[in-house]
Amino acid sequence: MKNGAIPSNKFVLQANYADSSGVHNGGLLRLIQETWYNATFGANNEFKLRTAPQLFASGYIVTHNNANLGEDGSWVEGYGVGKAAGKTWPELTGKEFPYTIRNAADSFPCAVFYNNPLGDGNTHFLGQYVFMDDKKSDYIYGERSIYSFGDNTDPFVLRTENTKNGVNGKQDTSSNRVWNNKDVLKIEIVLPNTLVTSYMGMNVPAAIEVDDEGNIVSTGGTMTPCTNIKYDIEGNPQKYFWEDYFEMIYPDPDDLAEDDAKAGIDKFNPNSSFVKTAKPFIDFLTWITGISALNVDGNGRQYTDGTVNQTALNKFIAEAHDHLDLYKLAAYYIFFLRFGLVDSVERNAELKTYDG
């Protein structure tokens, strides 16, 4: 998209027909990229808001050793794998990483025109849009494996027709991976104001009706664990109940389905790629909803007004560092409060892990 950007083939055009909110959203995402990437903490000026691939590519590591947060230093981010084990990209190659890895989408406003070859042959104005990186453009966020070979000019192996049979041979191999994507998982919250997202429970309604705006307008049936399988009217397994509320962005479920098909198993097999990949998310959801289940009043009713009792709070404080990157969580919360991101907490928010 711009100088230094990782080549990509997934973009979106966000329309600004009624107002300029799309441009503002794009500007805020660029602000997050700049401020979080450059923010430093502590006497050692650690880049605690950089993502794991950003740390690896830029030559920095972060040791999570803040005793006040319960960290013991066992979690270290920024090192590569394989021949880059214990090293960052600059240490491995002696060169700067040739691209900018992002933690938020880049964009620019534009006017869109089109020609209809079957119409009058004139150029027509379609509207004012924001040209933006897509959320599933996994290369730009460092979700794809990073490779090292030759002169290190193409670490994502995007020019496959040149690299597979080029002077360096086939490069897209496990032996050439220096930052691995095998434990990356990105989940987006897609439905707001549900028992899963608002009131934090593992059980969800057996049936829901969603309007055109993506809001739940009615529920029905008995409550069922969100890890149960949802069947269609013909009795065929359709999806897990949690997939009504959350979407797996990376890895692409279609890619996982291809892997399972090759192995002769389906998505709902306990040993499927989909089930194994989703496990860190299910573990996290089990943990956070377990804490929420403790947050009840004297009559055993779960609080829904923002009240948190001491039992739930103590458990969260004691265990949060094992499940969350608290620096990034705090930064997101600060941005949410400062800019009034009211639709980016229960919905439009993403949960991501780089290490399972």
pLDDT of 193: 58
pLDDT tens-digit readout, 238-253 = 999 999 999 999 999 9
Q: Is residue 162 part of a domain?
A: yes
Give yes or no for a contact between 138 and 17, defined as CB atoms under 8 angstroms apart. Answer: no
Query: Do residues 111 and 239 both lie within one domain?
Result: no
Total count of domains within the chain: 2
pLDDT tens-digit readout, 53-100 = 999 999 999 999 999 999 999 999 999 998 899 999 999 989 899 889
Q: Is residue 4 part of a domain?
A: no
pLDDT tens-digit readout, 139-194 = 899 888 888 765 556 676 554 444 444 444 455 567 778 888 889 999 998 886 56
Summarize the confidence of residues 293-306 as an average pLDDT.
Answer: 90
Q: Is residue 344 part of a domain?
A: yes
Query: Do residues 152 and 201 both lie within one domain?
Result: no
Phi, psi of 61 (to 5 degrees): -125, 160
Q: Does 26 or 103 have the greater pLDDT score?
A: 103
Q: Is residue 1 part of a domain?
A: no
pLDDT of 265: 95
Q: Is residue 340 part of a domain?
A: yes
Residue spans of alpha helices (H) in the chain? 21-38, 52-58, 89-93, 160-163, 253-263, 273-294, 310-323, 326-339
Contacts of 282 (CB under 8 A, 6+ apart): 227, 242
Q: Is residue 6 part of a domain?
A: no
Domain boundary among 153, 179, 205: 179
Query: Do residues 84 and 233 both lie within one domain?
Result: no
**Residue 94: domain span:** 11-179
Q: What is the Cα–Cα distance from 347 to 336, expressed in whole angstroms?
A: 12
Question: How far is residue 76 from each of residues 52, 86, 87, measured CA to CA in Å?
Answer: 9, 10, 12
pLDDT of 169: 47
Query: Do residues 229 and 89 both lie within one domain?
Result: no
Query: Do residues 118 and 227 both lie within one domain?
Result: no
Query: Do residues 156 and 209 both lie within one domain?
Result: no
Query: Which residue's entry shows tokens 């055009």?
Result: 13
Summarize the confidence of residues 10-16 as an average pLDDT.
Answer: 85
Domain boundary among 155, 179, 203: 179
Contacts of 80 (CB under 8 A, 6+ apart): 56, 87, 88, 89, 92, 146, 178, 179
Domain boundary among 179, 212, 235: 179
How far does CA 16 lie from the centroid of its chain? 25
